[in-house]
Amino acid sequence: MLSHYISTLMIKQIIRLASALCALCAIALPAAAAPKVVSDIPAVHAFAAKVMDGVGVPVALLPPGTSPHGYHMRPSEASALAQADMLIWIGPELTPWLDRARKKLNQDAQSLALLGVSGSIQHDLREDAVFAPRDADNHGHGHDHGHHHGPIDPHAWLDPANGAVWLGAIARALGAFDPANAGAYAANAAAGEAELRALTEALNAKLAPIRNQPYVVLHDGFQYFEERFRIPALGAIRLSDGAAPSPRRLATLRRGIKASGARCIFREPQYSSALAAGLAGPDVRTGVLDPLGWDLEAGWSLYPTLLQKLATNLRQCLE
């Protein structure tokens, strides 16, 4: 009887021990930390957020309302850059200050300049106040990396075809750095590319009724959107880098507006409206075009919403 009791007790203890071990086995090991990714402008943050969905969240260096052409990082932003595993940015053409600040990256960190990604569409900078007409056969097309004729217009995120190319490039870069999540990155990028194809079709249809309507933009930051959707601007008040216009430039624009019958001048939320208002006559309306999306919620949805708002505001003012 005693030996039977002892045997039963030992069996119960073994069962309890086995159950405890199984419980420990059921506890998942902590997942490896997601790569620390920093980005420059909101659109690039949106691309990174889409690719990293379900794995991690990127950090945006530029705060809302900041022009990317010139900026001095705060200590917290410099610290985020110094701790990053990867910097994803447009490139030095847009943010030369960030090119200098890249020295703060640690030795093992990587840098992905999207404007240099193979397959990116690039357009040359425009300097004239009133733009030269483009050959109809060239609308929606630009130069691949390495085939331009001068300085590059850096506002390339406003062509969703570039957005699609860059999603894939970000997925490949993150997958190489973090192979355990390479499949998730690739799947997220593919989903984003499909969304952008559908968005491009929808915006083409939305903008069709106002094609060939002349208009003026505050600064020459919309060339990629103009070319993709075949809705060219007459000219720009400011140059691509946002530099203030000369009196001669303004006089040329006034003549161009009068000769073309331009119906709308678009200002931007981060600039004073005085220049646009000063050029607008009694028959010329003013509207708003925001190339950055500073008032939009951060994340992937910012990018398609940004393009949709550009199309909506163009149509409302020109229709």
> Token digits for 310?
């550009």
CB 115 within 8 A of CB 158: no
Evaluate if residue 203 carries a pLDDT over 50. Answer: yes
Q: For residue range 254-293, list pLDDT tens digits in order.
A: 999 999 999 999 999 887 788 888 888 778 999 999 999 9
Give the chain's length.
319
Max mean pLDDT range (22-31, 66-75, 182-191): 182-191
Tokens, residue 127: 């300097």
> What residue ranges do the domains of the chain occupy?
37-119+157-203, 209-318
User: Residue 155 pLDDT > 80, yes or no?
Assistant: yes
Topology annotation, domain 209-318: Rossmann fold (3.40.50)
CA dihedral of 304, 64, 158, 164, whole degrees rounded to 10: -60
Can you give the pLDDT at residue 270?
80
Domain 37-119+157-203 has CATH 3.40.190.150: no
Average pLDDT for 73-89: 93
Give me the chain's average pLDDT, please.
86
261 vs 214: CA distance, rounded Å: 7
pLDDT at res. 71:
86
pLDDT band per the 50, 70, 90 thresholds, residue 156: very high
**Half-sphere exposure (Cβ direction) of 65: Cα atoms closer than 13 Å:** 1
Rounded Cα gap, residues 75 and 82, in angstroms: 10
The pLDDT score that the predictor gives to residue 234 is 96
In terms of average pLDDT, the best of 22-31, 148-157, 284-293 is 284-293
Q: Is 96's pLDDT higher than 80?
A: yes
207 pLDDT more than 50: yes
Range scoring the smallest mean pLDDT among 152-166, 210-224, 260-274: 260-274
User: Are the folds of 37-119+157-203 and 209-318 the same?
Assistant: yes
Mean pLDDT (whole number) for 184-188? 98
Cβ pair 216, 279 in contact under 8 A: yes
* Least-confidence region, from 110-124, 136-150, 221-235: 136-150
Comparing 60-64, 135-139, 157-161, the range with the smallest average pLDDT is 135-139
